[in-house]
Amino acid sequence: GAVVSQHPSRVICKSGTSVKIECRSLDFQATTMFWYRQFPKQSLMLMATSNEGSKATYEQGVEKDKFLINHASLTLSTLTVTSAHPEDSSFYICSVGQKNTEAFFGQGTRLTVV
Amino acid sequence: GQQVMQIPQYQHVQEGEDFTTYCNSSTTLSNIQWYKQRPGGHPVFLIQLVKSGEVKKQKRLTFQFGEAKKNSSLHITATQTTDVGTYFCAGGRIKAAGNKLTFGGGTRVLVKP
């Protein structure tokens, strides 16, 4: 299966700053990657689909200007949380996988905004 | 939009007992996947069901996909302490690029020794 590396695993930032999270597919060329957010004791909520070489597709209710996604290569997608606020504190996790097959998840990034 | 509901939300099980978690989608699915997430960890793939009425077993775990491809269940027999975690079902969308999944709310399993 695909190996997905996500970095950083934990980050604490001050309110108003921006944080970049990287998702790397180490052995799988991913034309699409997915970004999820998970609040404590809740489910994974899909935020957006990252498309290699084109704009990301955002789910309803997700602010595209706040959560910037860049997918410049087949192995790397980045999620930048801009002007972070305490309510953005969450577990962010990416996944890759071919259609109708299992999803391979990164280790996740726990973001705390203080 | 598509919704995937999962019950129960919490399951407290005595070690050795059986339990079942259920998953229902508002729309027909291309496939259903099950994942297990331990506290602080990421979801780990358990199984995928694709065919209508499909049943798959993994040791003490039995997975079933409904005839209409809108519901699924996971049954665990003789629960062990290693079964602790949150079990998520995730529905694959028929008309979606890549592996786009809609997750159920999860069943959080606690095992009493």
**Tens-place pLDDT, residues A42-97:** 999 999 999 888 899 999 999 999 999 999 888 999 999 999 999 999 999 999 98
User: pLDDT > 70: what percent of chain A?
Assistant: 100
Among chain A residues, the shortest Cα distance to B42 is held by A107
pLDDT mean over B49-72:
97
Given an 8 Å threshold on Cβ–Cβ distance, is B97 in contact with A49? yes
Q: What is the DSSP string of A14-69?
A: -TT--EEEEEEESSS--SEEEEEEE-TTS-EEEEEEEETTS--EEPTT--TTTEEE
Q: What is the mean pLDDT of residues A19-29?
A: 93
Query: Residue A30: is its pLDDT beyond 70?
Result: yes
Residue to mutate among A38, A43, A91, with most B CBs inside 10 A, is A43
B111 token code pair: 């095992």
* B79 has pLDDT over 90: yes
Q: Are strands A44-51 and B19-25 parallel, antiparallel or unpaired?
A: unpaired
